Amino acid sequence: MKNGFVKVAAASPVLRVADADWNAERIIEVIHKAKEQDVRVLVFPELCITGCSCYDLFQHRVLLSGAEQALLKVVPATEGADMLVFVGLPLAVGAKVYNVAAALYEGEILALVPQADAPDAYFSVPEPGSCHEVELEGYGLVTMSDEVLFEHENMPDLRVAVEVSAGLDRFASPAAAHAEAGATVIAQMASFPASVSSRQEAELNARYESKQFRCGMVLAAPGKGESTTDHVFSGLCLVAENGSILASVEQEDSLAVSEIDVEHMMGLRRESGCFDEECDYLSFSWGGELTETGLTRKYLMHPHLPETSEELPEYCRRMLDIQVSGLVKRMQYAHLTHCVVGISGGVDSTLAVMVSAMAVKRMGLPSINVVACTLPCFGTSSRTKSNAIIVAEQIGADVRVIDIGKAVYQHFDDIGHAHDDYSIAYENAQARERTQVLMDIANKVNGLDVGTEDLSEFIDGWCTYNGDHTSMYDVNMGLTKTQVRANVRYIADTTEDRVLKAALYDVLDCPVTPELLPIHDDQIEQKSEDAVGSYSLQDFFTHKMLICGFTPSKTFRLAKQAYGKEFTDEELVRWLTSYCKRLFSQQFKRSCLMDGPAVEAFTVSPRVGFLIPSDAENTLFLKDLESLTQD
């Protein structure tokens, strides 16, 4: 359970109605199967020891006594499993019958948790918050309360609450109270039957509640073997976390297994500030030593993009609309009529000029009001220059080719810099000259210098301070490199202009390059990813470390899961180390960023986004990475 992961499972074995002994054997079989998979929290459906469709038999002494005895058969099966198990049964206490969940751990019954909803024809409910001791024949006294938390002894972020009779038709769920009490995992023992929409509704509820309460949900519903007198039961089992369904199974002998990241859930709660965790819940401790949790859940290589290709077109349309809307508002506010864009033939400037064309069109202005400037210098290749011009011409922009080489050489002479000294000043002088030209043209035409740098480059600082780092409004500021590429590909896929389409695809095929060093034989030699690493990998690091708040070592583990054999362990450690160093050392560039629209709920804007001091130390982050090289 290291890194905050806890392996959980929801199980719905095939049962026999009212045959408690037979059902107990099936439950025991599942417990052994879950133990083999290192499950730490196992949830069965409501009333699984008897079946949920016993009707008036729930009041009968024979069934009630048989259910208790069957429970005592299940209890020893949990020994040596280091697993918190929830099973359901009807329980007679005096003149009342309760629908309870029995929480089992290491051969003991930790507590009994009764259904807390309104009473029905068969079961009573206790007074809210009541707590008393119940005598189980052949076992002894057990605490029964509807307000209970099961806290892991060695993992403070793992707190489990159980909800008995979880349904699809309630306006209010106990999940809210459980989450407020501090539960990061909620076990939902359900009894709802199958319908044509029950799976969809259950998954929707689980997505909503797990997102709203920043928690994991483990739901088990009754399955095959229940009575078909009035309903059919499907055996739906699912695991959800923070709005996502991690596992969902609906079949005979369903077993849904996945890993909930309770460390992440606690981090989200701290960010929200809405969980005070002050309550009167009883607390029961469980759990052994922390061990490595094997991961079965999948992590996307591109977490900033939708999970399926079917969702991608609409996602790109929304991203583009946010970019265009922001640019239109800024131009209208400033009474500007032109967009000025420095085009290099790379994906960032290509997207910026396309967004500018969409903006002037939305404003009712002619496409010629987009001033697309290509500013070749020492490292510019004919391929990138050609693509930049083709794209600009196809959208009807005012294309200007301005060779800045002479101006840069004059600047070298002014500051006493040798023409063959290819140090950092050689590179940065070109970027700053381009920015000066673009801003002055913008002033000249009553326009806006539209920035092209993206979120990924601002995070790793791969931009020249007061050069391409600076603009009057940056439409790409809220997009990662993977999102920029997705938008350009979407435009290429949907345009009917064959010339534009071919140019856009070639832009996507070109390596990312600043083109600031001299080239030979007209070949692209300076490649950004050689210096800062794969932008796909960088964007993954950003999502896990900055958005999710994970440690570098945990991020390393998830990167291995997402990328498989694409990178060696040594490469991942190398690029993670580079990322951590650049994240801190380049903050001074992010501390004075221009305006630009956020596309996700994450931005590095110094006004509303992720912010760290410009002179913060990266020591703790690098120290965490040291454990990877020592293992």
Question: Within a domain: residue 304?
Answer: no
pLDDT of amino acid 519: 46
- The alpha carbon torsion through 18, 39, 183, 210 (nearest 10 deg) reads -90
The reply to whether 172 and 264 lie within a common domain is: yes
Question: Within a domain: residue 422?
Answer: yes
Question: Within a domain: residue 88?
Answer: yes
Question: Within a domain: residue 33?
Answer: yes
pLDDT digits (tens, 9 = 90+) for 218-238: 999 999 889 888 889 999 999
The reply to whether 282 and 319 lie within a common domain is: no
pLDDT of amino acid 152: 96
Q: What is the CATH number of the domain that holds 137?
A: 3.60.110.10
Partnered with residue 286 across adjacent β-strands are: 152
Please state, in angstroms and rounded to a whole number, the distance separating the CA atoms of residues 588 and 337.
Answer: 32
The reply to whether 530 and 471 lie within a common domain is: yes
Q: Rounded to a whole number, what is the largest CA-CA distance in the chain?
A: 101
pLDDT of amino acid 512: 64
Sheet containing 140-145: which strands, arranged edge to edge? 131-136, 140-145, 108-114, 96-105, 84-93, 41-43, 5-12, 254-261
pLDDT digits (tens, 9 = 90+) for 79-109: 999 999 999 999 999 999 999 999 999 999 9
Question: Within a domain: residue 15?
Answer: yes
Under the phi-then-psi rule, with left for phi > 0, alpha for psi from -120 to 50, and beta for the rest, what region is 335?
left
Question: Within a domain: residue 478?
Answer: yes
Domain of 602 in residue numbering reads as 312-630
pLDDT of amino acid 384: 61
Instruction: Identify the domain boundary among 242, 271, 286.
Output: 286
pLDDT digits (tens, 9 = 90+) for 480-504: 999 999 999 999 999 999 999 999 9
Surface-to-core class of residue 190, CB atoms within 10 Å of its CB (0-12 exposed, 13-18 middle, 19+ buried) = buried
The reply to whether 279 and 321 lie within a common domain is: no
pLDDT digits (tens, 9 = 90+) for 321-331: 999 999 999 99
The reply to whether 188 and 321 lie within a common domain is: no
Sheet containing 159-166: which strands, arranged edge to edge? 244-250, 236-241, 216-220, 185-190, 159-166, 148-152, 282-286
**What is the chain's length?**
631
Please state, in angstroms and rounded to a whole number, the distance separating the CA atoms of residues 596 and 474.
Answer: 5
Query: Kindly report the CA angle at 595 between 591 and 597, in degrees rounded to 5?
Result: 115
> How many distinct structural domains can be found in the chain?
2
pLDDT of amino acid 31: 98
HSE-up (13 A, CA, CB side) for residue 492: 20
Please state, in angstroms and rounded to a whole number, the distance separating the CA atoms of residues 119 and 97.
Answer: 10
pLDDT of amino acid 283: 92
Backbone Cα Rg of the chain = 30
Q: What is the CATH number of the domain that holds 378?
A: 3.40.50.620
pTM: 0.89
pLDDT digits (tens, 9 = 90+) for 11-20: 999 999 999 9
Q: Which amino acid is at 210?
A: S
pLDDT of amino acid 631: 55
- Residue 494 neighbours by CB under 8 Å, 6+ apart: 313
pLDDT surpasses 70 at 625: yes
pLDDT of amino acid 517: 52
Question: Within a domain: residue 318?
Answer: yes
Question: Within a domain: residue 324?
Answer: yes
pLDDT digits (tens, 9 = 90+) for 345-386: 899 999 999 999 999 999 999 999 999 999 988 765 666 668
Mean pLDDT for the stretch of residues 59-64? 94
